[in-house]
Structure 1
């Protein structure tokens, strides 16, 4: 089909070809400009969104640090105030009833009308920070919790040593639950253990240590919390009396977010991957579905990742003091969604430009085609013998020049025919013979030998040695052999190294250890020399003078082993792993060079899949390449 179209419309029609070529160039140029213009706007929007993403993540980390510092400040005030630490320790060690008696005795024995107490101090903290949700004083030994909250500033006592059900009630009121699922289940379990006499400690969250992170959801109101828990120790005995757990409402993080776009995600995760924020996603301690992908993402740097089947820019930060992971995910489609109007405008303008260019091209070429057809028709008349044919010359362009030359040619031809009527035209044929001079290899060797002897006669012995080594290498390479002896291959390597040593002014040293009994065995031609060349290109350090390469030829059972080791730059672990994987592949692509891949492929073809080369390297220490082939 395409062949028929070409033969009918393009093969013998130059101007159709010009129209097609010009149209293709114009369309391709306009489409390219349109694509780059759209990509410019898209990249600009993406960069702006990524900068805003980084700013929001920094604000979230800063917010978490502020809450952590506030919790630490509250705890430090407790420890620094003798009355507060003494009362707090007494409360946790002796129980609430004993603490009330202790406070009454203290008040009655004092000579003042007003004394400070724990309640005044903890209530004051809620006035300082609206995100402070609860302050819990928890005694694992006495099995009670005294909770001050934004809703109950006077404090509320939950003593589950006497009534185990208060443990569940404390949890529910602490997290704002009316119909809890996850926390209710844990509370019921704790209550059952208490009834059976096995629950002798505080709830499981205070067993976490100095700091803990809690995330829950509620069917009536969202209240994800993150908690900072600190041990309270007696100043006299230094023994742990209990814990102080300070809960912050994670919904305050929402104030750190700017304008939102469709599909964006701002998450705060605990070390287990459980969602702390936002509230609508913090369900029953479930791990974020994409938590496993965070390990491969660089920290504090936006990176394109496939999330839920769409490309998103994800930034992961863990710079806050709470050890929480802050995640920001922006779908690329959502970032560039508002560019649809610009995209449509660019598309319409591009289509209009394409139509205009194609129309102008068509009519311009059509005009040239008509003038050309006039010249072609005139030529056909002259071909038929009408020498009186003349072309109009109305333009001073190339076609006008052709028309003028055509008219002059017809006039001259008419005069010539009239002058030499019935004269016999003769044409002479000359045959040109091109003599090809082929430079034979022996001619090249003889020429190099003459140059070498000339250099030696002039006292330039190092140049003579280099020319001798180069000529020997050429003579070795032009041999029409696939397999040569080990002696020949090693000798070619020695000449190559000697030539390189002179070239680098003794910055390179080499050592060759070979069992002379192995010199007569066969080896594939050019199996060692490309490895040495690879070291000289990538591994040698020209700023050093201790560069060294060692070639060892040895026998291992029924195998011939050649080991090439150096003290060069080595290979980075990622690149080394990639090279080893490529060498292990059954199908090795041809890269058009005599590198490691080429050597491996030729060795496998010649000796089988079980033979070949291996490579090991340590960065900045060197590389070892080992060739293993059968003895034959």
Structure 2
């Protein structure tokens, strides 16, 4: 079947259209269903958590208030004295205090005062007088064992005919911290309904468990599902207690420090039946889309071509500079031939570009060599001329000095090495300065500053000498005496060489020509070379061009007039050591 489809480009295109049209539809629908499910469950979970938090806050606040009220009652002197005397003293005052303290809680709980023998002496409810509770076991015994805290227990041992579900107790202590009685709080089912009223809906369930995960109170779906028993069994089995149960989400919160837990049940919104219905709709939509897609794809396959798109994408890659882009095809039809022609074209274009880059590199090397060679003749001519006139006029040993210095410069100039260390470069400049001092009969002095840490940095040879020459010829032209200083330093990854003189300064015309070279090309602006030649600054042009060809347009020379006078030329190149140059 697949071989039959592959024999026809039209059939391949038809099958591709069907797959491209249906697959995104099916995946998008599945994705939307899952996203809708996750989004809906997340939104409802957020609301459920907020509702469970409200319930927890109500219960926590209630028990905190009960704890505070029982503490105040247990410390009330009148109540302590009356309980000690079995209720025979100040009954009205005790009742007044009891009702005053419990005014805001009587609809939610019943408050009783028991004697040390477990007999009810005072109560906010009816029918509790003289009711007796055991003190040697049960809640009163636990309360006496823990006098500093309120004891909360599920009512199960001595409920009798009472519908009390939960009790809290605190001992009444006299001045010697001896228990003389008890404050007992009782909560029944109707109290819980008032406490939790408005915190859950008709389809929700609420359950309150004690520290042993036994049911204290339950209502709504929690009663039908017997959720307290289910959670207790899960806990005993070591399973996760908050996993959904019978399409109900479960939210469990601890109620303050009472040892009680509140459980909130909320029916899940997105059930398995809902998911099944949505996928059934998806199947119907997919079937209908398949029929429509087959009809439309049969017509569109005559006009559109996926292989042409592949060829177009490959051409865009070539346009963006990726000459390794190829169209992979094993076809024997027209598209296969077209792909082969494209690949041949891209390969030949890459070869041509590599050849162009190689030729340009060679051209740059030749241009650099020519420019470096251009630095020497003018200087050599002047030096030889100086030697001649000194020899004729003075017949003194300065000629030996001129010859020695010139020989050193000449050896470096004609060597094949394009780079030398900064120390060697400045030594050559110093030789040049010695020669010129003799020529100009000491009209200037020359110094240079070279930190040891950058002495071994490599620079193109003879890039400082032309700048020093400009300073002597142009900067100190009309001065009786002058000073030239060369200072080198590094900053971050750049090496700066400053040539400063205290002469007449540089003119605005020259300054503009020197500083306004075309950025990014390494060449001067149109007419710039002729202007520099006219102004006598071809050395500056050559040095700047050499540096730019070697390092890029962001490096080169800059000129300024310092406030104290004179001219400062700054050479900027990257910091490189000799080892780095050899590796490169």
TM-score, normalised by the number of residues in structure 2? 0.42
TM-score, normalised by the number of residues in structure 1? 0.39
Larger radius of gyration: 2
